[in-house]
């Protein structure tokens, strides 16, 4: 089996991405908070796992009210995470190992403690007076909000009163995160310069936070009522004039032009045929139907990738998953790549979503890593870390305290979606000790470790051939080794039994069948050839027969990846 990477396609098109939440990955100095030096210490974990790129959540200067998604200086590092030198070291050390590095750009808003905002709010006529979205209020005293725009939580308004200016400012996420005025040329240039700052230091691209919210309706007209459900949450308002607008698609193209200034610039990343490919990649955090999001990457311009979040709130159901796959294949046909996500730092862990059933989590890992597209993993997913229940009164995540302070704990405990994001941000589990190897044994980690560290930890799973970590490593190894898996086409296999998903990934000379049984009975999925070799299976009892109708036999809740060779 030789490695035959497709050298004409850009590096990112066959990449896998691993998300690091720096505060919780590894603490190198025992203050209980993860840091950049800690990430560098653990880079080899990513190498042995077999991912190609890491996306690092924000570590820039910040008062940490939203744990880094409230930036007070885009070109500096928060002291608790390290220094600019550490950030450079992280890029260089990753590159030396052949890993690409994506940073997280928070474009929609800054912290209210960013000097730009401090100045902007000081008067109506300072130099940065229009850098944010200020509006006069309605009513005689101007104390009625300018319009009915809601914050992302929808329960509260997006407008915040500022006594100093006696005006309202827009804050789509939280009051401490005022929205920038991207229609102001100086704002665009200042932000583009921050992008260049990191591109110059060699970063391979960016994940773009809340990207679809950046360019809102310039007329500030009220939004209409439109009850619907989006990524698993009930929504009340129509956001089509404030989200995913045409202007926002244009901004994607403008940002891409900034990145293009650096395409091809910089030393090679690792060794191998792709090492000199320095195209910078943009991945957008966007919400909406796949066909709508596709506009952000149309004509090979704009963002190369947009997260498709449907799997993040998935139903463990073959028909539901198949419908999404068909939808994504249609919206993102080759050479475009859909971007699948099962976990991130905002939503419930996969293991909890499948009712704690490890077999189902193994099936979903196989699905994620064998579909056509760019899969993203979140730290700890490769161990099947589970949510850590933390009552609201102990929450550090400001989201509940800001938007839903009245929510009773009894209700919180029963919600299908976790509101307190701390529950999915507890430390990465490197071993089974009380602090999970995240920080010094004597230190207090910023969030408690999960009791599942007894089994969901790197040290123990590393040695266990049946562990989740071993499964992820095998899947990623096969994905990298087989062109059909990392850059082949995808065709759903006809004749898969009910409750089963099956597809064939293929290139000119290679065909690989993926079959996943999401039911509680055993099934047989025809292989079409007697010449089949099992590459990966999520359970030990998977077999392939060469009967008259050759098939792969799958027990309950189990998946397999099978290399199909033409009959000799």
Contact map string, positions 147 to 186, toward ligand GLC, x by CB under 6 A: --------------------------x-------------
Segment contacting Ca ion (CB under 5 A): 19-27, 61-69, 245-253, 386-394? 19-27
Residue 206 phi, psi dihedral angles, 5° rounding? -145, 150
Q: Which is nearer to ligand GLC, 244 or 474 (CB)?
A: 244
Contact map string, positions 182 to 221, toward ligand GLC, x by CB under 6 A: ---------------------------xx-----------
Q: Is 163 a catalytic residue?
A: no
Q: Which is nearer to ligand GLC, 62 or 478 (CB)?
A: 62
Two tokens, residue 47: 């190498």
* Residue of 70, 86, 112, 209 with catalytic role: 209
Residue 209 engages Ca ion in binding (rule: CB under 5 A): no
- Listed residue (70, 175, 158, 178) closest to 118, CA to CA: 178
| 3 state SS of 289 | coil
Residues 100-139 that bind ligand GLC (CB under 6 A): 106
Q: Which of 52, 66, 204, 310 is close enough to bind ligand GLC by CB under 6 A?
A: 66
CA distance 202 to 545: 50
Minimum distance between the CB of residue 41 and Ca ion, rounded to whole angstroms?
Answer: 11
Two tokens, residue 507: 């290139």
Residues 518-547 that bind Ca ion (CB under 5 A): none
Q: How far is CA 554 from CA 339, 460, 479, 516, in A?
A: 27, 27, 21, 8
- Other CB atoms within a 10 A radius of the CB of residue 289 amount to 13
Residue 343 engages ligand GLC in binding (rule: CB under 6 A): no
- Among Ca ion, ligand GLC, none, the one that 397 touches (CB under a kind-dependent 5 to 8 A) is none
CA distance 180 to 172: 10
Q: Which is nearer to ligand GLC, 235 or 345 (CB)?
A: 345
Q: Is 533 a catalytic residue?
A: no
Residue 35 engages Ca ion in binding (rule: CB under 5 A): yes
Residues 1-60 that bind ligand GLC (CB under 6 A): none
Residues 280-309 that bind ligand GLC (CB under 6 A): 285
* Residue of 119, 130, 261, 491 with catalytic role: 261
Maximum CA extent, the chain:
85
Residue 83 engages Ca ion in binding (rule: CB under 5 A): no
| 3 state SS of 369 | helix
Q: What is the dihedral of CA 148, 151, 152, 154, to 10 degrees?
A: -60
Q: Which is nearer to ligand GLC, 195 or 496 (CB)?
A: 195
Residue 336 engages ligand GLC in binding (rule: CB under 6 A): no
Q: Extract the runs of DSSP E, i.e. beta strands, from 42-110.
A: 53-56, 60-61, 73-77, 100-106
Q: Hey, which residues does 20 pair with through a beta bridge?
A: 56
Helix (H) or strand (E) holding 458: helix 458-463
Question: What is the SS3 string spanning 491-526?
Answer: EECCCCCCCEEEEEEEECCEEEEEEEECCCCCEEEE
Return the residue matching tokens 């064998």. Answer: 370
Please list the active-site residues.
Answer: 209, 261
Binding site for Ca ion (CB under 5 A): 27, 29, 31, 33, 35
Binding site for ligand GLC (CB under 6 A): 66, 69, 106, 173, 209-210, 285, 345-346
């Amino acid at each position: 089996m030789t490695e035959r990477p497709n050298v004409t396609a850009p590096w990112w098109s066959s990449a896998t991405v691993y998300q690091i939440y720096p505060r919780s990955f590894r603490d190198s100095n025992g203050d209980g908070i993860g840091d950049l030096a800690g990430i560098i210490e653990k880079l080899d974990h990513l190498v042995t796992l077999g991912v190609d790129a890491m996306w690092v959540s924000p570590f820039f200067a910040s008062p940490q009210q939203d744990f880094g998604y409230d930036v007070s200086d885009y070109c500096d590092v928060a002291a608790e995470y390290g220094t600019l030198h550490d950030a450079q070291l992280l890029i260089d050390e990753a590159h030396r190992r052949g890993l690409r590095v994506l940073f997280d750009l928070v474009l929609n808003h800054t912290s209210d403690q960013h000097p730009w905002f401090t100045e902007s709010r000081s008067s109506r006529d300072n130099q940065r007076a229009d850098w944010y979205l200020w509006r006069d209020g309605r009513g005689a005293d101007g104390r009625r909000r300018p319009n009915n725009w809601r914050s992302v939580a929808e329960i509260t308004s997006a407008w915040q009163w500022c006594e100093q200016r006696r005006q309202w400012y827009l804050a789509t996420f939280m009051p401490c995160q005022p929205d920038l005025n991207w229609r102001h040329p100086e704002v665009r240039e200042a932000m583009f310069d921050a992008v260049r700052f990191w591109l110059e230091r060699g970063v391979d691209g960016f994940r773009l936070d809340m990207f679809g919210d950046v360019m809102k309706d310039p007329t500030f007209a009220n939004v209409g009522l439109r009850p619907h459900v989006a990524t698993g949450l009930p929504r009340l308002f129509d956001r089509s004039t404030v989200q995913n607008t045409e202007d926002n698609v244009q901004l994607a193209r403008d940002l891409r032009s900034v990145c293009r200034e650096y395409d091809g610039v910089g030393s090679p990343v690792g060794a191998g045929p792709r090492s000199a490919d320095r195209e910078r990649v943009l991945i957008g955090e966007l919400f909406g139907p796949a066909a709508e999001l596709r506009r952000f990457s149309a004509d090979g311009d704009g963002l190369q990738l947009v997260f498709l979040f449907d799997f993040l709130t998935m139903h463990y159901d073959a028909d539901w998953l198949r419908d999404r796959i068909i939808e994504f294949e249609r919206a993102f046909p080759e050479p475009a790549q859909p971007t699948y996500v099962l976990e991130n730092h905002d939503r419930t862990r996969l293991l909890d979503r499948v009712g704690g059933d490890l077999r189902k989590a193994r099936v979903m890992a196989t699905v994620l890593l064998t579909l056509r597209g760019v899969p993203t993993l979140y730290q700890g997913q490769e161990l099947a870390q589970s949510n850590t229940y933390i009552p609201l009164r102990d929450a550090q995540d400001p989201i509940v305290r800001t938007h839903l302070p009245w929510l009773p704990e009894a209700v919180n405990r029963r919600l299908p979606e976790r509101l307190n994001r701390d529950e999915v941000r507890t430390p990465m589990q490197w071993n089974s000790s009380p602090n999970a190897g995240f920080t010094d044994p004597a230190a207090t980690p910023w969030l408690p470790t999960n009791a599942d560290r007894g089994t969901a930890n790197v040290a123990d799973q590393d040695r266990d051939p049946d562990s989740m970590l071993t499964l992820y490593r095998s899947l990623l190894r096969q994905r990298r080794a087989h062109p059909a898996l990392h850059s082949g086409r995808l065709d759903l296999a006809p004749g898969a039994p009910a409750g089963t998903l099956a597809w064939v990934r293929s290139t000119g000379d290679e065909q690989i069948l993926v079959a996943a049984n999401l039911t509680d009975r055993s099934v047989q999925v025809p292989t079409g050839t007697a010449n089949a070799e099992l590459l990966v299976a999520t359970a030990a009892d998977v077999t392939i027969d060469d009967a008259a109708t050759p098939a792969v036999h799958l027990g309950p809740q189990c998946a397999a990846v099978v290399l199909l060779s033409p009959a000799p």
